[in-house]
Amino acid sequence: MRRRLTPYLLALPSWLWLAAFLVVPLAAMASVSTQTGNVVDGFAQTFSFGNYADALGRYSTQLVRSLLYGGAATLAMLAIGYPVAYWIAFRGGSRKSMYLFLLLLPFFVSFVLRTIAWGFLLADDGILFGTLKGWGLLSPDFHVLATSFAVIAGLTYNWLPFMILPIYVGLERVDPRVIEAAYDLYATRFTVFRRVVLPLSLPGVFAGVLMTFVPAVADPINAQILGGTNNTMIGNIIQVEYLTNNNYPTASALSFTLMAVLLVGIFAYARALGTENVLEAAAR
C-alpha cells in the first residue's frame, strides 16, 4: 500500500507548487476579470463579462499588432535559427558544447539590459548608424529606433536561443545512418534535406516556435525600450492598465483574451503541421 502511494507522495510537492502558484492566481485573475469597481471603493464580483468586449474593443489594435510582431519575429528566428542549429548539430564536431555555451552566454546579462544595449546600437546617432551617417553612407534622417522593425529585431534577438536549442535537439536526434541511407538511395544533398532531415527535425521546430512565439507576443520590454510610442504591444497595455491605471478587471480580461488567442493559435498550428506526425516523430 505504502509502496503504491510513494510515487504520488513524491510528486505531491510539485502538485502543491503548481496549485499554489499557477491554479490559484489564474482562478483569482479569472474572478477579477469579471468584477467591477475602482481601486478606491474596491472591486465587487458582478459577472460583468462586458469587461472582455470593452477591453477588446479598446485594444484590438495592440492585440493584432502583438500577434503580427510576434509572428514576424518567430519567422525571423526560424530563418536565422534553423541554419545555426543545423550547423552546430552537423558541423559542430567536438566543439558543439562550446557553441551551445556561446549561444547561452547572453543570458548571463539581464534581459532588460540587453534590450537597452540594443537601444544604444540602434540609436539614430549611436555607434552603428552614427558612424555610417558620419561616413555619408546613410542619409542623416535615417532611423530605426522607434519603428516596428526595431521591435521585431529586438524580439528576434532576445528569444533566438529558445528557437535554436529545440531545433538543435531535434536535429541531433536524426540518426546519421538514415541520412547516409538517403544518399545511398541516390538522393541529392537538397533532397536529403527536404525529404529526410527537415521532416525528422519538425518536432524540434514545433517546440522552438512554441517557446518563442508565445513569449514574444506577450513581451512588453522590447516594445517599451525599442518601440517608442507607436508600437505599443498588448504586454505594455496590460502592464499600464494594471500598474498605472489600477484597472485590474480590464488587465485581467486582456490577459485571458491573450491566453485564449495563443492557445487557439497553438492548436491550429499543431493541427496544420499534423499533430499526429509531430507527436509520432517526437515519440520515436
Partner 1 sequence: MHAIQLDGVVKEYTSHGEVVQAVKGVTLDIAEGEFFSLLGPSGCGKTTTMRMIAGFEEPSKGTIRLHGQDVTNVPPNKRDVNMVFQSYALFPHMNVWDNVAFGLKQKKVPAEEIKRRVGEMLEIVDLVGREKRRPREMSGGQQQRVALARALVNHPRALLLDEPLGALDLKLRQAMQLELKRIQREVGITFVYVTHDQSEALTMSDRIAVMKDGLVEQLGDPRTIYEEPATAFVAGFIGTSNLLTGTANGGVLKVGGGRVLVPGKEGEVTVTVRPEKITICTEEPQGELSIVSGTVTEVVYLGTYNSYAVRLADGVEVTVFQQNAVDATATAERGDSVWLSWQPQHSYAIGK
The footprint of partner 1 (CB under 8 A) covers 175, 177-178, 180-188, 191, 195-196, 199-200, 277, 280-281, 284
Q: Is 195 helix (H, G, I), strand (E, B) or coil?
A: helix
User: Whose CA is closest to 66, among 272, 223, 178?
Assistant: 223
Q: In 10 A of CB 249, how many CB atoms?
A: 25
Q: Give the orientation angle of helix 127-134 with respect to helix 111-122, to 10 degrees.
A: 10
Smallest separation (angstroms) from partner 1 to the CB of 175:
6
Which cell is 25 given? 492566481
- Spell out the SS3 assignment of 127-183: HHHHHHHHCCCCCCCCCCCCCHHHHHHHHHHHHHHHHHHHHHHHHHCCCHHHHHHHH
Report the candidate in 215, 202, 212, 187 with the shortest Cα–Cα distance to residue 275: 202
CB of 96 to partner 1, least distance (A): 18
Q: How many CB atoms lie within 10 A of CB 129?
A: 20
CB of 183 to partner 1, least distance (A): 5
Measured from the CB atom, the residue of 77 and 281 that comes closer to partner 1 is 281
- Residue 270 gets the label, from left (phi > 0), alpha (psi -120 to 50) or beta, of alpha
Comparing CB distances to partner 1, the nearer of 57 and 93 is 93
Task: Find the shortest distance in angstroms from Cβ 187 to partner 1.
Answer: 5
The smaller minimum CB distance to partner 1, of residues 25 and 274, is found at 274
- Return d(Cα 50, Cα 53) in angstroms, integer: 5
Cβ nearer to partner 1, comparing 58 with 91: 91
User: Closest approach of Cβ 12 to partner 1, in Å?
Assistant: 35
Nearer to partner 1, 125 or 180 (CB): 180
Contacts of 212 (CB under 8 A, 6+ apart): 73, 74, 77, 159, 160, 162, 163
Cβ distance to partner 1 smaller for residue 174 or 223: 174
Least distance in Å: CB of 103 to partner 1? 27
Nearer to partner 1, 156 or 201 (CB): 201
* CB 211 to partner 1: min, Å: 22
